[in-house]
Amino acid sequence: MRDKSQLAISAPAKLNLYLHVKGLMHNGYHELETVMQTVSLFDELRIREFAGTEIKLITGNSEGLPPAEENLVVKAAKLLKYHYPRVKTGVEIRLKKNIPPGTGLGGGSSDAAAALKGISKIWGLEMQKPELAELAAELGSDIPFFIYGGAAICRGRGELVEPLPDIQENFICVLALPPIHVSTAEVYSEFDCLTNKSSLVNIAEVVSSLKFGDTKMLGDNLFNNLRQAACNVSTRLAEVEETMDKFFSLSGAYGYNISGSGSAWFGVYSERESALQAVKNFKEQANIPACIVHPVF
């Protein structure tokens, strides 16, 4: 019989297949319209309930992570405690990071969503996704999306989530991970200073490509108007842009872009052999870590 006082839960990365930053809102946040998809690169959380009220976070590979009291996983646990004071036990969360921080893949937000889902289950709170997403919005803009997972259109500052149907045919992505940490705050600040914020692709084309499983249409319509700002902020990211252009093009990617504010890049493929060749080229010729990921739901 499974021990109900502990559980393991995976936290997937995300890709921004479409990201249109529209500008600043009156509340100081940037207004977004984005299509996001969870993919098969996961952080791992092991959550254990114990007597007492303490919230413990244990990270075996903590490089690049904020202190425990600032970590979104701890904040998620404390938020549940605040809203459900009847809970009289503590939790220990062991977090194994596989999603590199500062890459635009949403690892911290995904960890927080996984913590909300896992801890609420351990504490027997019987919370449904809409209720969890409402709490998640108090923690951060991307976190409600990760409560649902799969593909979704997100608007507002990212907290308004419209889940999309599961795609008809899984596409293949090559994820390239240059060892570069990009500050999201600095990228948005630079974006506000740009006069040319890039031409706009129609979001309907991206949604249609997912609906009908049209990988070529998806690749043709990948869009992210933070890309120039990210390359302006990070000279190292700008330097690898040419490498990305070369290796994704040579291996037959239908399209490629950065995710979020970078530094991760991804290319869209329909043939696994082409994707494997791209991974090999990145590793052997450019010395850039790369892997194949698929959509997860």
102-121 pLDDT, tens digit per residue, is 999 999 999 999 999 999 99
- What pLDDT is stored for residue 261 in this prediction? 97
Structure token pair of residue 71: 């970590």
In contact, 151 and 250? CB cutoff 8 Å:
no
Catalytic residue among 75, 111, 117, 142: 142
Average pLDDT over residues 159-171: 88
Average pLDDT over residues 173-186: 96
In contact, 243 and 288? CB cutoff 8 Å:
yes
Between 280 and 167, the higher pLDDT residue: 280
- What pLDDT is stored for residue 169 in this prediction? 74
In contact, 173 and 96? CB cutoff 8 Å:
no
- What pLDDT is stored for residue 1 in this prediction? 43
For 3, 95, 199, 239, the CA distances from 90, given in Å and listed in that order, are: 16, 16, 50, 47
- What pLDDT is stored for residue 269 in this prediction? 97
User: Among 55-64, 200-209, 272-281, which stretch is predicted with the lowest mean pLDDT?
Assistant: 55-64
pTM, entire model: 0.95
Confidence check: pLDDT of 249 > 60: yes
State yes or no: is 96 an active-site residue.
no
Average pLDDT over residues 166-182: 90
Mean pLDDT of the chain, nearest integer = 94
Domains defined for the chain, CATH in brackets = 6-163 (3.30.230.10), 172-293 (3.30.70.890)
**φ and ψ at 74, to 5 degrees?**
-65, -40
Confidence check: pLDDT of 4 > 80: no
- Interval 25-80: pLDDT, tens: 999 999 999 999 999 999 999 999 999 899 999 997 656 677 778 899 999 999 99
Catalytic residue among 4, 14, 56, 121: 14
State yes or no: is 14 an active-site residue.
yes
Per-residue confidence band for 270, with pLDDT thresholds at 50, 70 and 90: very high
